[in-house]
Amino acid sequence: MANVLYDFVGLVPYVQPYVGVGVGYQWAKESNLHLSTPGVVASAANDTEGKFAYQGIIGVAYPITSAPGLSLTADYRFMGLAGDRNYSGTVATATRTAPANFKLDNDYNNTIMVGFRYAFGVAPAPAPAPVAAPVPPSPVSRSYLVFFDWDKATLTDRARQIVSEAAANSTKVQYTRLEVNGYTDTSGTPQYNQGLSVRRAQAVAAELVKDGVPKSAIAIQGFGETHLLVATGPGVREPQNRRVEIIIK
């Protein structure tokens, strides 16, 4: 028989129902077929006849998780042989014996089967990937910007507030040093701007010390009009470039 099965995947937890149909060719052997009526004895020789066959299948499979592809199955199959089958035999009376043909019509079979089936190429189910615990965001910023008025190295009230926040937060994290980097815009000469950036960095560093940061933990640098926050041409008074950056490392 050639069978086609359809699996209902995921329809029922733990098991997998399936249905199927099949066609093929079956042979039916008749052994010791004997008929006796008054005065007549009829018998058929042991004979085999083949016919077209069909079947319907309904079953259920239980996948064995420890052996990917292997399933325990149980199904019911109804199979029929189509058409008449002719068997040779003899008919005997009190006076003579003669050859005869015996005709049998459709044959039906009901079968319950229990077994195993194996699906090739089934990969083992992948192990679930470990879920990494989310890393909580650090509540403390490690970089602060302090802005200055044009051509000034003195701190505004807002600037002092930012420096104070940086000093307070430095006590909440483990650090090796605080970098205080000064910058200017492009107005003025490069030599003047270099000195102005250093003075701005020194003003912020002094405020950090005033707010409790050890002086030994502070590193001061001036970069003048290099490393612009906002790119401009020469001679431009850009407020965003007049700054000091505090970096906690």
3 versus 104: the higher-pLDDT residue is 3
Q: Indicate the domain borders of the chain.
A: 2-118, 143-248
Beta bridge partners of residue 181, listed in sequence order: 221, 245
* Among the ranges given (4-8, 44-48, 104-108, 114-118), the one the predictor scored with the smallest mean pLDDT: 44-48
CATH 3.30.1330.60 is right for the domain spanning 143-248: yes
- Of 60, 246, 52, the residue nearest 165 (C-alpha): 246
Q: Stretch 195-222: mean pLDDT, rounded?
A: 92
Question: In the chain, what percentage of residues exceed pLDDT 90?
Answer: 41
Q: Stretch 67-74: mean pLDDT, rounded?
A: 87
Token look-up 């077994």 returns 115
Residue 125 CB burial class (10 angstroms; 0-12, 13-18, ≥19): exposed
Token look-up 């965003």 returns 240
Q: For residue 80, name the pLDDT band (cuts at 50, 70, 90).
A: confident
* pLDDT of res. 43: 66
Q: Stretch 159-179: mean pLDDT, rounded?
A: 86
Q: How far is CA 244 from CA 44, 103, 230, 237, 249, in A?
A: 113, 109, 14, 16, 16
* pLDDT of res. 49: 82
Q: Residue 225 in contact with residue 200, Cβ under 8 Å? A: no
Whether residue 63 is predicted with pLDDT greater than 90 in this model: the reply is no
pTM, entire model: 0.45
* 178-182/218-222 β-pairing: parallel
Whether residue 137 is predicted with pLDDT greater than 70 in this model: the reply is no
Enumerate residues 6+ apart whose C-beta is below 8 A from 77: 55, 56, 57, 109, 110, 111, 112, 113
For 90-133, the pLDDT digits (tens) are 777 767 787 777 677 778 889 999 999 887 776 666 666 666 66
Q: Stretch 75-79: mean pLDDT, rounded?
A: 93
